[in-house]
Amino acid sequence: MSSYERFAHVYDELQTDIPYNLYVDWVVQHAPCSQYPTLLDIGCGTGVLSLLFAHAGYKVSGVDLSEEMLSIAAKRFADAGYQAPLYCMSMDELDGFEALDVVTITIDSLNYVVEEQAVYTTLERIYHALRDGGQLFFDVHSLFKMNEIFLDGPFTYDDGDISYVWHTAPADFEHSVTHQMTFYVRDIASELYERFDEEHLQRTFSIEQYMAWLRAIGFHDVEITADFTDEAPEYESERIFIRAVK
C-alpha cells in the first residue's frame, strides 16, 4: 500500500472539522440546482462534499488526481445509491467537459497547483468547460494563513486511533509551504501503530492575482468573500472564497 493510499484511508478522519454544509449552502445560494443542474467537483477527494451536492439535487461528477481517493468516493456514492462519473486527472489537464453549469474546487485544492501557468491553465480550462452563465466556486488559503499561521507549527493531533505530527516550512515558491506529516495509525486487530509519512506542497497567490487571471480569461461578476461569511476579506482572514461567472 503506497503512502498516498494510506493517507486516502485516514483523510476523512482528519477532515471532521470541515463545515461541508457551508460549502453546499454557498453554491446553492448562487447557483440553485433547479437552474444550474450539472456540477463538476474538482479535487473531489473521497467524495464527502460531492455526495452532499448530489443530496442537494445536483447531477454530480468528480475529478481528482488520486486513484485511491476516487476509489473511496466511488464506494461512497454506490453505498448511498447514487451514480457519479469520477475521473482521475490533474486539474490543469482538465478535458472532456462542456456546458457545465457549476464547477467547484473546494477545501484549498487549488493551492496544490503551485506553478503560475498551471493555475492559469486550470482556470482557463474550467472557463471553456462551463456554459455561458455557468459559475465557478473555489476557495484558497489567504496570504496571512500561508505566510504566518502555517509557519507557527509544529501541529499535533491524537484521537487514540490516529496521531500525527505536522511540521511546516517555507518552500521555494513565494507564498508556499511544505507540509511534512508523520502519521501513526492504530491497527484494531493487533493494537499496534503503523507509521507512514506524507509531504505536501501548497502555494497561494494574492486576491488581486486571482482576480486578474479570472478577468483575463473572460470571467465576470467576480465576488470575493472570506471565512464562510458574506464579508470581504480582511488582513487576518484565513480562507478566501471566490465566485466567478462565465
Cβ count within 10 A of residue 115 = 11
Same domain, 46 and 100: yes
Same domain, 29 and 72: yes
Same domain, 44 and 84: yes
Same domain, 128 and 224: yes
Q: What is the pLDDT of residues 40-64, one digit of tens each?
A: 999 999 999 999 999 999 999 999 9
Q: What is the pLDDT of residues 147-192, one digit of tens each?
A: 999 998 889 888 888 888 999 999 999 999 999 988 888 887 888 8
Same domain, 122 and 26: yes
Same domain, 107 and 159: no
Same domain, 126 and 210: yes
- Please report, for the domain that includes residue 178, its CATH number: 2.20.25.110
Instruction: Provide the pLDDT for residue 6.
Output: 61
Q: Is the pLDDT of residue 4 over 60?
A: no
CB 146 within 8 A of CB 177: yes
Of the chain, the percentage scoring pLDDT greater than 90 comes to 78
Same domain, 88 and 210: yes
Same domain, 195 and 173: yes
* Bridge partner list, 162: 185
Q: What is the pTM of this model?
A: 0.93
Q: What is the pLDDT of residues 194-241, one digit of tens each?
A: 888 889 999 999 999 999 999 999 999 999 999 999 999 999 999 999
Host domain of residue 236: 1-140+204-243
Q: Which residue did the predictor score with more confidence, 119 or 200? A: 119
Give which of 111, 68, 103 is closest to 217, Cα–Cα.
103
Q: Is the pLDDT of residue 37 over 90?
A: yes
Return d(Cα 90, Cα 114) in angstroms, integer.
Answer: 13
Domain count, the chain: 2
User: Per mean pLDDT, which range of 7-21, 58-72, 108-122, 184-198 is the poorest?
Assistant: 7-21
